[in-house]
Amino acid sequence: MERSGNCTGIGCCQVDIPPRMKNISLQAYSFNNFNSTSDFNQCGYSFVVKNGNYTFSLDHLKGINFTMAPMVMDWSVGNDTCNASMNRDYYACKSHNSDCKNSPYKYGYRCKCKQGFEGNPYLSDGCKDIPECTRKQHNCDSEDHCRETSGSFECFCPDGLIGNGTKEGGGCHRPDQFTKIVIGVGVGLIALFIGVSWIYLMYQKRKVFKLKEKFFQQNGGIILRQQLSTREDSSQSTTIFSAEQLKKATNNFDESLIVGKGGYGTVFKGILSNNKVVAIKKSKIVDQSQVEQFINEVIILSQINHRNVVKLLGCCLETEVPLLVYEFVNNGTLFDYLHNQGQGVNLSWKTRLRIATETAAALSYLHSAASIPIIHRDVKTANILLDDTYTAKVSDFGASKLVPLDQTEIATIVQGTFGYLDPEYMQSSQLTEKSDVYSFGVVLVELLTGEKPFCFDRAEEKRSLTVHFLCSLKEDRLFDVLQVGILDEENKQELMEVAILAARCLRLIGEERPSMKEVAMELEGIKLTEKHPWINTGKNSEEGQYLLHEAQSSREHGDSSSAQQNTGYDSLRAVELIDFGNGR
């Protein structure tokens, strides 16, 4: 017999209806063997009740004391999901403020009103907005500060009050005088800061503008503009760049873009706004007494148009030191190829002869063909750039001098690079075109030997390359000083002719040296002979053979007069008077 509260199978039993049950039948009856001895009510009862809403009692065996019991039916619409049903005509969620929810048993769906709405979602206008404000279903500090919105509400403070209108946030209240003052002062300080910042920026901008204007005038910008206005073609060849243009081109002169440093400035690689790659040279301070001459040099150099001279594209005069803009030559210097990392062995004699010929042609052009003769004044392998095809480009005119047509000599402060300087120029300070010839002679010797002009690491008698070279040539030991790898059976004659030409360029007396035009013509003749070896009766060949014969005769017979007249080797005696010693 069951006890009150237990319904486990004797006199009373219960069973849960499992989910998705479609049909169920109930039967209640008594066993016969109990009827004779039991005073139980022989009637049986069965009913469906919500789980947890019925508790068994022994009195219920005689008769239940209720006629109705609570029951909940779990139901759904149709057999498909929301997504499968919502586009069909019989879709049940009619209200536009309703949501469709899939049945948790994956069988059909049900409809419910959206958050903030109530009513019957199965009617077209069945879900109504809940009036939270009037029902006091809000957290505003007052119903007057509550405003209905679609599906919700918002709290606000009317004009004249401050706060967020909610009970949690302190509601709405009038601002006190202190708050007004703080707000007013804050707004005033912000306005003052903005005003002062604007004035300061304008002042700095004006200051920078005035400084640029000062540098522009100081560096001869007015003179340059006047010169450009009077020259029809110069405006097409000379560009005046702004400081901003060149700063942008070099990423504010980033040190990683430095491609060279010299005695006259630092060179940066830059990319202009039109994607043109240029070399931007940041020069040293310009002597104010030489500003007009500097501007004239800029105009003259920008008009030079020679394939073997680095083109000057323009300048910037808005900075303390002028900035010069050149075409960019991207394959390094001849010095690098001859002396750094063994690259010189990659330069064949044919390439070296062509580089020498092109360099001589460029210097000859500067001396003879330019509108005003130009003395480079610092000819050296470090100032001879090479492009991708190893074409020579003479660069760095920082020490250049324009030569008035009525003058052949100019008195200047001695400038140049040790090892390349003309001894006559060092002694007299008289600059002539023959000074470039001497320096070019040193370049020829570098091309022949692959050695630097002066090196303390060499033996004392070999420290000066020119002295060692001339002595070797005089003693008929030329092939001993040539760089290993450039000599072969086919170019012996060419090497000797170039060596003799170098010796003529290195004569201590400038008047005895050939002009750059003569040097260029002789090198072109040697190069032509290389192309056409059957041409051997020309003037250059005869002169080379004659000079070589005289050099040998001078060595064998000591004929100093003949040597001086034809080869200039007597100048070696003067060279020996220059005591290099330990370099001091």
pLDDT greater at residue 81 or residue 293: 81
Average pLDDT over residues 374-400: 85
Burial class of residue 180 in the structure, from the number of CB atoms within 10 Å of its CB (0-12 exposed, 13-18 middle, 19+ buried): exposed
Average pLDDT over residues 238-248: 87
- Per CATH, the number for 334-404+416-511 is 1.10.510.10
**SS3 sequence, 161-188?**
CEECCECCCCCEECCCHHHHHHHHHHHH
- Residue 218 host element (H or E): helix 177-218
* 262 phi, psi to nearest 5 deg: -145, -175
Give Cα 173 to chain centroid, integer Å. 58
pLDDT over 70 (residue 223): yes
- Per CATH, the number for 221-327 is 3.30.200.20
> Which of 48-52, 127-131, 414-418, 480-484 has the highest average model confidence (pLDDT)?
127-131
Identify the pLDDT of residue 558. Answer: 36
Identify the pLDDT of residue 559. Answer: 37
pLDDT mean across residues, the chain: 79
pLDDT over 80 (residue 90): yes
Residue range(s) occupied by CATH 2.10.25 in the chain: 82-129
Which region among 136-145, 332-341, 502-511 has the lowest average model confidence (pLDDT)?
A: 332-341
Query: pLDDT digit string (tens) for 485-494?
Result: 888 888 889 9
pLDDT over 50 (residue 57): yes
> Which of 2-11, 85-94, 303-312, 496-505 has the highest average model confidence (pLDDT)?
496-505
- CATH domain 82-129 topology: Laminin (2.10.25)
The pLDDT confidence band at residue 548, using thresholds 50, 70 and 90, is very low
- The annotated binding site is made up of 282
What is the rounded (10 degree) CA torsion for 160, 166, 167, 173? -10
The structure tokens listed for 268 are 């940066």
- Is there a catalytic annotation at residue 176? no
The structure tokens listed for 216 are 């522009």
pLDDT greater at residue 573 or residue 116: 116
Average pLDDT over residues 108-126: 93
pLDDT over 50 (residue 321): yes
How many angstroms separate the CA atoms of 194 and 490, rounded? 81
Residue range(s) occupied by CATH 3.30.200.20 in the chain: 221-327
Amino acid identity at 424: E
The single-letter DSSP state of residue 256 is G
Which region among 232-241, 287-296, 483-492, 558-567 has the lowest average model confidence (pLDDT)?
A: 558-567
Choice among 129, 141, 378, 570 that is catalytic: 378
Identify the pLDDT of residue 410. Answer: 55
- The annotated binding site for ATP is made up of 282
Residue range(s) occupied by CATH 1.10.510.10 in the chain: 334-404+416-511
pLDDT over 80 (residue 135): yes
- Give me the DSSP letters along 416-448: S-TTTS-HHHHHH-EE-HHHHHHHHHHHHHHHH
